[in-house]
Amino acid sequence: MNVKLDKRFAGGVSLLGAYTYSKVMGIGGALSGDPSRQQHARNRRAEYAVLEFNQTQRLRWLGSTSFRS
């Protein structure tokens, strides 16, 4: 899910905000080639889990101004 807010004010000031909610799931992840990390070699379903690089919630803000001469 993504939500984006873009607001421009008088005088050249603007604000940009973005919020992301996600869940990354898969088999193995970055260490999938390492057989010592496997729970059960013949049951790949046991490997399905949240991956190491998962970022469930992320909030970003950016503000800018423009100067006129």
User: How many Cα atoms are found within 13 Å in the side-chain-facing hemisphere of 61?
Assistant: 2
Q: Which of 12, 18, 25 is nearest to 62 (CA)?
A: 18
Which pLDDT does position 31 carry in this prediction? 56
What pLDDT, on a 0 to 100 scale, did the predictor assign at position 50? 85
3-state secondary structure of 5: strand
CA–CA gap between residue 5 and residue 65 (Å, rounded)? 17
Per-residue pLDDT of the chain (69 residues; tens, 9 = 90+): 899 999 999 888 999 999 999 998 887 665 555 556 666 777 777 778 888 788 889 999 999 988 766
Tokens (6 digits) for 36:
């010592």
pLDDT at 36: 60
Instruction: Tell me the chain's radius of gyration from C-alpha atoms.
Output: 21
